[in-house]
């Protein structure tokens, strides 16, 4: 119990004011023990004034930092330069080459040289691509002097059989005049003839499939453009 200094009325210790005269008792002081101080575990950092600043450290090591940056740039340059070469090498390694009497072309290793028969061209060779499309190649001596005469003969024969001429496209292969003709048979099959005339010889690719997509692929067109004559 405590007494009011104004009127002497007794009050309990925690009373904020005197119940008799209304005197406001002063708030008691809270003592914080040394064990409870919030600063007890905080490390004390003493600055002697001799420590190097971050800027000073960078200045002293700028030669080493420059060397690291130079090595990094060199490594990136090597990766950029060697990357495309590796890709090109991989593509080259995946090709096979057919060559016969001054005529050659490159074809994917996924193609299979297969058995076929062409009663008009006994020396023909046959390939089957990954889609099952058959690509026939043959060459014959020709009396035709231009690719247009070859086209007229091809179109006349197709019309006589009742077939439809889908496409007639003049083109060039290995800097020589060529033609690209697509014929649709009455049964719905497609045959593509790519013909090249050079020095009295007629070189022909005959491509057969059940659909237009089968004879007009990027893979087949790449093989045609790889043709070399002479």
Question: What percent of the chain has pLDDT above 90?
Answer: 48
73 occurs within a structural domain: no
**Domain total in the chain:** 2
Range of the domain at 207: 93-229
Q: Are residues 38 and 98 in the same domain?
A: no
**Per-residue model confidence as pLDDT tens digits over 86-97:** 433 334 458 999
Angle subtended at Cα 120 by Cα 96 and Cα 110, rounded to the nearest 5 degrees = 20
49 occurs within a structural domain: no
In this structure, what DSSP letter does residue 166 have?
Answer: E
In this prediction the pTM is 0.59
Angle subtended at Cα 176 by Cα 173 and Cα 179, rounded to the nearest 5 degrees = 65
Three-state DSSP at 39 gives coil
Q: Are residues 34 and 99 in the same domain?
A: no
36 occurs within a structural domain: yes
Higher pLDDT, 199 or 125: 125
Q: Are residues 97 and 38 in the same domain?
A: no
pLDDT band (50, 70, 90) for residue 79: low
Which pLDDT belongs to residue 145? 83
Could you tell me the two tokens for 139?
Answer: 């060459």
Q: Are residues 176 and 109 in the same domain?
A: yes
Higher pLDDT, 44 or 139: 139
Count other C-beta atoms under 10 Å from residue 207's C-beta: 24
Q: Are residues 102 and 161 in the same domain?
A: yes
Q: Is 81 a residue whose pLDDT tops 60?
A: no
| Mean pLDDT, rounded, for 158-177 | 93
Q: Are residues 3 and 115 in the same domain?
A: no
Contact indicator for 18, 7 with CB cutoff of 8 Å: yes
Q: Which residues sit opposite 39 in a β-bridge?
A: none
Q: What's the CA gap between 124 and 79, in Å, rounded? A: 46
**Per-residue model confidence as pLDDT tens digits over 10-49:** 877 777 878 788 878 787 665 555 555 544 555 555 555 5
Which pLDDT belongs to residue 88? 37
Q: Are residues 137 and 24 in the same domain?
A: no
56 occurs within a structural domain: no
In this structure, what DSSP letter does residue 106 have?
Answer: E
Higher pLDDT, 73 or 171: 171
Contact indicator for 150, 170 with CB cutoff of 8 Å: no
Q: Measured in whole angstroms, how far is the alpha carbon of residue 11 from the centre of its chain?
A: 88
Which pLDDT belongs to residue 87? 37
Rounded to a whole number of angstroms, the distance between the first and last alpha carbons of the chain is 124
86 occurs within a structural domain: no
pLDDT band (50, 70, 90) for residue 83: low
Pairing of strands 134-141, 125-128: antiparallel
């Amino acid at each position: 119990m405590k007494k009011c200094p104004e009127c002497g009325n007794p009050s309990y210790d925690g009373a904020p004011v005197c119940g008799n005269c209304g005197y406001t008792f002063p708030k008691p002081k809270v003592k914080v023990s040394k064990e409870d101080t919030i600063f007890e575990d905080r490390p004390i950092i003493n600055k002697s004034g001799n420590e190097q600043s971050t800027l000073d450290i960078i200045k002293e090591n700028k030669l080493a930092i420059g060397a690291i940056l130079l090595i990094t740039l060199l490594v990136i340059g090597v990766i950029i330069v060697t990357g495309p070469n590796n890709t090109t090498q991989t593509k080259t390694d995946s090709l096979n080459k057919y060559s016969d009497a001054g005529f050659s072309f490159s074809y994917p290793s996924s193609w299979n040289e297969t058995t076929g028969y062409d009663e008009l061209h006994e020396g023909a060779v046959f390939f089957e691509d990954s889609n099952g499309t058959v690509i026939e190649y043959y060459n014959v001596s020709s009396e035709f002097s231009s690719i247009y005469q070859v086209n007229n003969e091809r179109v006349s024969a197709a019309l006589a059989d009742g077939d439809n001429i889908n496409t007639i496209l003049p083109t060039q292969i290995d800097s020589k005049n060529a033609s690209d003709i697509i014929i649709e048979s009455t049964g719905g099959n497609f045959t593509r003839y790519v013909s090249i005339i050079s020095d009295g010889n007629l070189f022909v690719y005959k491509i057969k499939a059940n659909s237009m997509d089968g004879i007009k692929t990027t893979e087949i067109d790449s093989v045609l453009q790889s043709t070399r004559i002479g």
